[in-house]
Structure 1
Amino acid sequence: MDKFDFRKSYPELYSPGRRDFALVQVPHLQYLAVDGHGNPNTSPEYAQALECLYPVAYAVKFRSKNELEQDFTVPPLEALWRAADMSAFTAGDKDSWDWTALIAQPEWITAGMVEQAVAAVAAKKDPPGIDRVRLLPLDEGLSAQILFVGPYDDEAPVLARLHDAWMPEHDLAFNGDHHEVYLNDPRRTAPAKLRTVLRQPVRPDSG
């Protein structure tokens, strides 16, 4: 049985360069998703979201393997971030952020399969917020991205350069939520070695 791997199938999304921002066309993808608000470093809601997402992701994986004979590697955690004022990102004002925690799912996974996986996890563990897990389709399209290496709290200057210099220089405007892909596990990785894809959907700036 072949095993689908997002990193191998979409290297342009998971292995960008780190020297400068580059444009990429992000295809239609779907994700397990949980919405929330607040600082991910201190918000119990964010920790609860991860405690729901991972069990559901593995429940979906095993159901797909056993019932459909289609296996896949559970991809890394991702998240969408949004704020009423985009300067909240460059200022590091994390308490004002809204977020959607994500784990990508292959195209053959259906909402019904996710609902069954949620019910199975709820029957065994019933973690807080399990009923908030849903399947989210996402069409980001044209996006600017870069690989950032280092602590999450050091991203602000890179995002300031994207927002205040690179995008204006290329006549681009915001066209969706800030997107991050966490390529390694912060519980097992030194902060200086954390690798994060920073992505921003964009569109031509009409002025």
Structure 2
Amino acid sequence: MSAKYEWRKQEKAIYLPKNKPEIINVPAMNFITLAGEGNPNSEQFTQHIATLYAVAYAIKMTLKKAENTPANYQDFTVYPLEGIWDINEQAKQQFNGTISKDDLVYQLMIRQPHFVSEQYFQQMREQVVEKKANPLLKQVKFETITDGKSIQMLHLGKFEDEPLSFEQMEAFADAEELVRLSKTHREIYLSAPRKVAPEKPKTVLRFSVE
């Protein structure tokens, strides 16, 4: 039996950058995703996260117990929660330099190993739907996303202090003569929110450049 695949050990370049900006080329990856809007401190946001994890763990545990597994299957550690963040169209039109959390738009996601197909995802989602009366489950999608050439860094500390890290990243982009493609950005949550102090979370920040 092959060893368990652990993203923290085998994909350090993608998930464990230093706390200073760097350039990285991120290939196409498969994710289960769930879109939403509003304050990330809300119960709705918590439900979005729980829904994604329900599907992610259904995929992992069903594969682990299956007699017939996909080609190249090996047991794996579930990938971390990620999110792509933006603000809604009305907030963009009225933007004055500050962002209200109520105006945020997000696409939450958990990456899937290469041997998990969209067809298998559909089967697992339907299994979860049968067990849980959760209308969000039918909104979970399987998507391939490519960040491509990007700048990323590890942000240590409160989410409210992320603008300081983004200032460093944008200054680094200027120095490298790179242009940020969009004000949307990706966050990868390396810390479980309830297991670390509010001022100590570890979050990978990333935006695409050219």
TM-score tier after normalising by the smaller chain length: 0.7 to 0.9
Whether contact under 8 Å (2:22, 2:152) holds in the other structure is yes
- Residue in structure 1 matched with residue 18 of structure 2 by the alignment: 17
How far the C-alpha of 1:92 sits from its partner, in A, is 4.1
Whether contact under 8 Å (1:81, 1:178) holds in the other structure is yes
Q: How big is the alpha-carbon RMSD for the aligned residues of Structure 1 and Structure 2?
A: 2.1
- Residue in structure 2 matched with residue 189 of structure 1 by the alignment: 196
* SS of corresponding position for 2:143: strand
- Residue in structure 1 matched with residue 5 of structure 2 by the alignment: 4
2:143 is equivalent to residue 142 of structure 1: no
How far the C-alpha of 1:154 sits from its partner, in A, is 1.5
Whether contact under 8 Å (2:152, 2:169) holds in the other structure is no
How far the C-alpha of 1:179 sits from its partner, in A, is 0.5
Q: Give the alignment's TM-score, normalised by structure 2.
A: 0.86
Q: Distance in 1 between matches of 2:192 and 2:208?
A: 25
Matches within 5 A, 1:1-207: 1=1, 2-18=3-19, 20-42=20-42, 44-65=43-64, 66=66, 67-68=68-69, 70-83=74-87, 85=92, 91-163=98-170, 165-175=171-181, 177-203=184-210
Deviations 1:29-61 (A, max 9, x none): 11110011122112x432221121111001111
* SS of corresponding position for 1:33: strand
Q: Distance in 2 between matches of 1:187 and 1:59?
A: 22
Read off the aligned partner of 1:33 and give its amino acid letter: T
Whether contact under 8 Å (1:48, 1:127) holds in the other structure is no
Percent identical: 33
Task: Structure 2: give runs of 5+ residues left out of the alignment.
Answer: none
Deviations 1:56-102 (A, max 9, x none): 001111222224153111011111112354x97x7343222211111
Q: Distance in 2 between matches of 1:156 and 1:93?
A: 14
Q: Distance in 1 between matches of 2:86 and 2:172?
A: 20
Q: How many residues align?
A: 199
Read off the aligned partner of 1:75 and give its amino acid letter: Y
Whether contact under 8 Å (1:48, 1:128) holds in the other structure is no
* SS of corresponding position for 1:117: helix
Task: Structure 1: give runs of 5+ residues left out of the alignment.
Answer: none
Read off the aligned partner of 1:103 and give its amino acid letter: I
Deviations 1:94-146 (A, max 9, x none): 22221111111001101111111111111111223110111110111111011
Whether contact under 8 Å (1:145, 1:198) holds in the other structure is yes
